[in-house]
Each structure stands twice: as structure tokens, then as C-alpha cells.
């Protein structure tokens, strides 16, 4: 990586001391999915690196994005009077890919345990890619509703609700030291896959159903936002509170406890301003590219938080990728642009700005991810996608049933 380093010596020392600790109380996860994954992972070759499973699963979400975007770039396929113009087979492929991603995401840690290659890199690699998938997966569903039932400005808040649900789990771990696995994740994966399969069997037109002005898109928004407010946010707040009350967490001062929210809120405010005050209403011009831009910067913020909490370091209060974003938003929303520059900012120019910033942010984020993984591999003398030290100790116990809400050792791969 040349002279640029993303991890300090303190980060690397923190990773050396890191131990994964999680609690999973979801009955679907504990009593259905974990036994299924324990069975399936036995058919995975022991020479296959766990991170390969993680990366292949992530690629399935990328394939879905590219495939649906090819047929419905502007989210207008569902607006057609003759029905959704996306071919039925696309929904089937997307549904299968979601299940592949979900199951490989559940099996990678088990593969790490049975091959004796557990370590901090696996968790970082897994959750880092999950933060990117958090931006990609909801975008698939937007093509079921179309911009008539779910205008881009409402898509914006749906995307940010997904970001919040993902981010709060890692804020919780940053303060408690424990990964409380959310109930909603397993149900969400099955729900998304189910919605896509239903679109194949009965046709995506069923998602345009309207009952006295209340649409399926409205129901989707209510369920998504309401489930987080009921099943996630209060529990996270309670877990953080109890960690302070019982002195079991990191016991950070109040402003340090809240510090992870600063970068997150800065990004939300900046993107909100652009979405509402763009001179050319860019959110309706290039919604798909905007979601990728916002999701890429969010993923970078989330990855840096994950690095901080795993290495027991202080997290960033501001993300470096928000500087070019803030400058761009300032230009695109400047109210006196025409008076000052003697010409107005055209829609085509703002489109090119969005595309250019997205490419830059994506390359910068990829460079960060590659740099962090490379530095950890060099430090621990391992390979990301290859098992360099196979275990001779025999297959470890894969049973991960949780009883009485006790922590489950869901150790991730190297």
C-alpha cells in the first residue's frame, strides 16, 4: 500500500487482544438456521478459506444490483400501465442470490471454527461487506414498487432507516463490548427473498395494490421503520444502559459513548440537504447512483467504527470522504449560483458531478478496505483467501444453540 497506512500500531495491538463475544436470542436463528448451517458446512471442503464464503455471498448481492439495474435503472419499470417490465426470471435469480448470501454469511464463521482459522480479520471482513450490502439489498425492492408508489425522497428515508438499524448494532458493541445479534436480520433476509419469489409467482403487479390510498409500499415503510423502533432500538438503548449500570461495558464518558453518532449524523444532514435543496432536483434525476454514493460513504463510516471497536480505539467523529461530499452539496445547493457565476448549474453537469463523486468515493473506500485487510494479513502473517495454517486438532464443535440468552461463541474467520 505504499506509504499510506490505515492501521496504527495501537490498532494492531488491539486486534491481537480482541475476543469475539456475541449473544443471539432469535429463535429462528438459534433453533432453525444454526442447526441447518452446522449441517451444510460439513460439505464445504476444509481447504476452502472462510473469507471466500463471505466474499462469494457478497458478490451475490452485487450481481442482484447489476441485474435489476440493467432492466430498471430509474425505478420506473413498475410504473408501466401494462405491468412491471422487469422479466419474471430476474426476480427468481435475485431471490436465490439473497438466500445464497444469507446462508454463506451464516456458514463462514462455522467454517472458520472447523478449520481452526478463527481471528479478528474474519469478523472485520464479514461485517465490512455487510455494511455495503445494507445499501444494496433495499434497492432491489424499490423496483417492485416504482416511483409512483415510492418516490425517491421516500426511498431516501427507507435507505437511511436500514443504515440506522445496521449502525446501531455496532454502536452498541462499541459501548458494551458484546455483539447482540438483532432478531430482525434473519426475518429480513427471508422476507426480502420471499417478496422477490412472490413477484415471480404472482407477478410484481400485486405490489401496486391500493386500498383507499394506502399502498403496499406504505405498508413496507411502516413495517420496516416500525420493526426497528419496536424490536431493535429500545433493546439497544437498554443494553447500553445496563452495561453502564452493571459496569460490564467499556464505561466510556458520555461524549465518547455518543461519538460514533457524530459522523453518522453529519452524513445524514449533508445528504438530506442535497436531496431537498439540489438546484436540479438530483434525487429524481439519479436516485440509483445517489444510493450507491450514500451507501459507499456509510459503509466507510461503519467499517471505521468496526475497526475502532474491535481494536478498542477511539472512533472517528468525522469521515474524510464527507469533505468532497460537503463541497459538492455546497455547490449544487448554493442559492445564488447563477448570480455569482453568471450561469446556472445545469442538470447534466450535476449528473456528471454525482457520477464523478461516486466513482471517487468508491475507489477511496475500496482502497481503504484493501489497505486494512492487507495490513492485518501482514501483521498476523496470514492470507485473506487462503488457509495458510490448517489445523490438525480435528473438527471443532459446531453446536451454537443458545440457552437462557447466554453469549454464543460465533467466532469469525481469519
- Grid cell in block for residue 322: 464527507
d(CA 188, CA 166): 12
Residue 305: pLDDT over 70: yes
Orientation angle between helical segments 50-71 and 88-115, nearest 10 degrees:
170
Orientation angle between helical segments 120-149 and 347-380, nearest 10 degrees:
160
Q: Which residues pair with 211 in a beta bridge?
A: 214
Mean pLDDT of 2-24: 90
* Dihedral pair phi/psi, residue 331, rounded to 5°: -70, -45
At 399 the pLDDT is 45
At 294 the pLDDT is 97
d(CA 322, CA 318): 8
Candidates 313, 274, 22, 314; CA nearest to 169 is 22
| CA triple 53-58-62, angle to 5 deg | 145
At 211 the pLDDT is 86
Among all chains, which residue has been given the C-alpha cell 467454517? 111
Using one digit for the tens of pLDDT, what is the confidence trace for 230-279? 888 999 999 999 999 999 999 999 999 999 999 999 999 999 999 999 99
SS3 180: strand
At 210 the pLDDT is 87
- Grid cell in block for residue 19: 475476543
Q: Is 230 exposed, middle or buried (0-12, 13-18, 19+ CB in 10 A)?
A: exposed
At 231 the pLDDT is 81
Mean pLDDT of 107-125: 93
HEC-encoded secondary structure of 45-89: CCCCCHHHHHHHHHHHHHHHHHHHHHHCCCCCHHHCCCCCCCCHH
Residue 389: pLDDT over 70: no
Contacts 24+ apart (CB under 8 A), 76-83: 76/146, 76/147, 77/143, 77/146, 78/143, 78/144, 78/145, 78/146, 78/148, 78/149, 78/204, 78/207, 78/208, 79/146, 79/147, 79/148, 83/203, 83/204, 83/205
At 328 the pLDDT is 95
Using one digit for the tens of pLDDT, what is the confidence trace for 28-61? 999 999 999 999 999 999 999 999 999 999 999 9
CB 302 within 8 A of CB 133: no
At 404 the pLDDT is 34
Identify the weakest region by mean pLDDT among 265-269, 277-281, 319-323, 337-341. Answer: 337-341
Alpha helices in 318-346 (DSSP H): 322-332, 337-341
Question: What do you get for the CA distance between the two ends of the chain, in Å?
Answer: 20
* Dihedral pair phi/psi, residue 141, rounded to 5°: -70, -25
SS3 399: coil
- Grid cell in block for residue 344: 446556472
Among all chains, which residue has been given the C-alpha cell 435469480? 93
Using one digit for the tens of pLDDT, what is the confidence trace for 188-247? 999 999 999 999 998 888 898 888 889 999 999 999 888 888 888 999 999 999 999 999
Among all chains, which residue has been given the C-alpha cell 451464516? 106
* Average pLDDT score, the chain: 90
Q: How confident is the model at residue 342 (pLDDT cuts 50, 70, 90)?
A: confident
Report CA-CA distances (Å) from 22 to 16, 179, 395, 400: 18, 4, 22, 11
**Percent of the chain whose predicted confidence (pLDDT) is above 70:** 93
d(CA 377, CA 53): 18
Contacts with 339 (C-beta within 8 Å, 6 or more apart), sequence order: none
| CA triple 127-133-134, angle to 5 deg | 90
Amino acid at each position: 500500500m505504499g506509504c499510506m497506512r490505515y492501521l496504527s500500531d495501537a490498532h494492531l495491538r488491539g486486534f491481537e487482544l480482541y475476543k469475539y463475544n456475541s449473544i443471539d436470542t432469535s429463535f429462528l436463528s438459534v433453533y432453525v438456521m444454526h442447526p441447518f448451517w452446522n449441517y451444510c458446512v460439513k460439505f464445504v471442503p476444509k481447504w476452502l478459506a472462510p473469507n471466500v464464503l463471505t466474499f462469494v455471498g457478497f458478490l451475490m448481492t452485487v450481481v442482484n444490483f447489476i441485474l435489476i439495474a440493467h432492466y430498471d435503472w430509474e425505478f420506473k419499470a413498475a410504473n408501466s400501465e401494462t405491468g412491471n417490465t422487469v422479466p419474471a426470471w430476474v426476480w427468481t435469480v435475485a431471490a436465490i442470490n439473497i438466500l445464497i448470501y444469507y446462508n454463506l454469511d451464516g456458514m463462514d464463521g462455522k467454517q472458520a471454527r472447523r478449520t481452526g482459522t478463527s481471528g479478528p480479520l474474519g469478523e472485520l471482513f464479514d461485517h465490512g461487506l455487510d455494511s455495503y450490502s445494507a445499501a444494496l439489498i433495499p434497492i432491489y425492492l424499490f423496483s417492485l414498487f416504482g416511483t409512483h408508489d415510492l418516490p425517491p425522497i421516500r426511498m431516501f428515508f427507507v435507505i437511511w432507516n436500514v443504515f440506522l438499524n445496521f449502525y446501531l448494532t455496532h454502536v452498541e458493541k462499541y459501548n458494551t463490548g458484546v455483539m447482540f445479534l438483532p432478531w430482525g436480520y434473519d426475518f429480513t433476509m427471508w422476507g426480502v427473498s420471499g417478496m422477490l419469489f412472490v413477484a415471480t409467482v404472482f407477478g410484481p403487479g400485486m405490489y401496486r395494490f391500493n386500498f383507499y390510498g394506502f399502498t403496499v409500499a406504505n405498508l413496507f415503510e411502516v413495517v420496516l421503520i416500525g420493526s426497528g423502533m419496536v424490536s431493535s432500538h429500545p433493546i439497544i438503548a437498554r443494553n447500553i444502559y445496563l452495561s453502564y449500570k452493571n459496569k460490564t461495558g467499556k464505561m466510556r464518558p458520555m461524549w465518547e459513548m455518543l461519538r460514533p453518532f457524530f459522523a453518522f449524523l453529519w452524513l445524514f444532514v449533508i445528504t438530506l440537504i442535497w436531496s431537498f435543496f439540489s438546484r436540479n432536483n438530483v434525487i429524481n434525476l439519479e436516485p440509483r447512483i445517489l444510493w450507491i454514493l450514500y451507501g459507499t460513504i456509510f459503509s466507510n463510516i461503519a467499517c471505521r467504527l468496526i475497526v475502532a471497536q474491535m481494536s478498542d480505539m477511539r472512533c472517528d467523529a468525522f469521515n474524510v470522504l464527507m469533505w468532497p461530499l460537503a463541497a459538492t452539496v455546497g455547490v449544487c445547493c448554493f442559492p445564488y449560483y447563477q448570480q455569482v457565476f453568471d450561469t446556472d448549474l445545469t442538470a447534466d453537469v450535476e449528473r456528471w458531478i454525482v457520477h464523478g463523486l461516486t466513482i471517487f468515493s468508491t475507489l477511496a473506500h475500496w482502497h481503504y478496505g484493501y489497505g486494512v485487510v492487507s495490513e492485518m494479513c501482514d501483521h498476523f502473517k496470514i492470507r485473506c483467501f487462503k488457509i495458510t495454517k490448517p489445523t490438525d486438532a480435528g473438527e471443532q464443535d459446531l453446536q451454537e444453540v443458545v440457552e437462557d440468552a447466554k453469549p454464543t461463541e460465533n467466532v469469525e474467520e481469519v
